[in-house]
Amino acid sequence: MTTFLSLRKILMSICLIAPGIGAVQAFEPPVFALNDAQLKALEEYAVAKTEKAFAVGPEGQFSAQTGFTSSTIAAREALKACDEGVSDATKRCILIDLNGERLSHAMQMAQRLQIDPGLFDKPMKIPDLVLDIDAWRAREGYREKADHKAFAISLKGPWARSWEGGSVEEAEKEALDSCNRNEAAQKAPCFILMRDGASVPPEELQANPDLSVGGQKPK
């Protein structure tokens, strides 16, 4: 007898297997020693399955950022939160883990050698936007919906779609309003990812310091 597994079950199986795989890997310490609080936070962070980043500083500060749809933005938010209140540039934080992968010693040292906090105040490209399984299925189903339609999503994961609108603008407004009613979207406002049959080119999306996203308006 042949058994067919759903995509969701396959993904869940991978998630269950992955921790066991990671457990056999040796722990590579960062360029400076971690205190007990940092180690405990790193252990708790390890179980998160979303796009995530972990940053630490030499004075005991740390930040674990999880639940994002972009590892690029998770990394930015981890560093920004970890560096809050740090005035001495030599004490600023570095990333030591991205999506469960420990950064090499060389990459950690490179961060310490080249720190530009001014980048936190500038928009950042989002080259690695990732949809979870529910958002991916919704996007696939969206393609079959009638115009005018729009698909909205937040950097923190919530999404919404609208179709059969009187205009593209109306569909966008409905999708954004629905998406922004999610609690997570209060910290990261939703933005348009698709309008009618076209996707917004990823290279045009830019995450602002407040986690809003620009660049999705048609030219």
Residue range 166-190: average pLDDT?
96
Q: 3-state class of 152 per DSSP? A: strand
- Angle between helix axes 7-23 and 133-142 (nearest 10 degrees) is 150
State yes or no: pLDDT of 15 exceeds 80. no
* The predicted structure's pLDDT at residue 10: 31
Element (H, E) at 56: strand 51-56
Nearest 5°: phi and psi at 118?
-65, -20
In this predicted model, what pLDDT tens digit does every residue of 91-102 receive, in sequence order? 899 999 999 999
* The predicted structure's pLDDT at residue 124: 85
- pTM greater than 0.85: no
Single-letter code of the amino acid located at 163: W
Nearest 5°: phi and psi at 133?
-60, -40
Q: Distance between CA 199 and CA 176 in Å, rounded? A: 15
In this predicted model, what pLDDT tens digit does every residue of 102-152 receive, in sequence order? 998 888 888 877 777 788 888 988 878 889 999 999 999 999 999 999 999
State the chain's mean pLDDT as an integer.
85
| 152 in Cβ contact with 178 (< 8 Å) | yes
Q: Distance between CA 75 and CA 53 in Å, rounded? A: 5
| 155 in Cβ contact with 66 (< 8 Å) | no
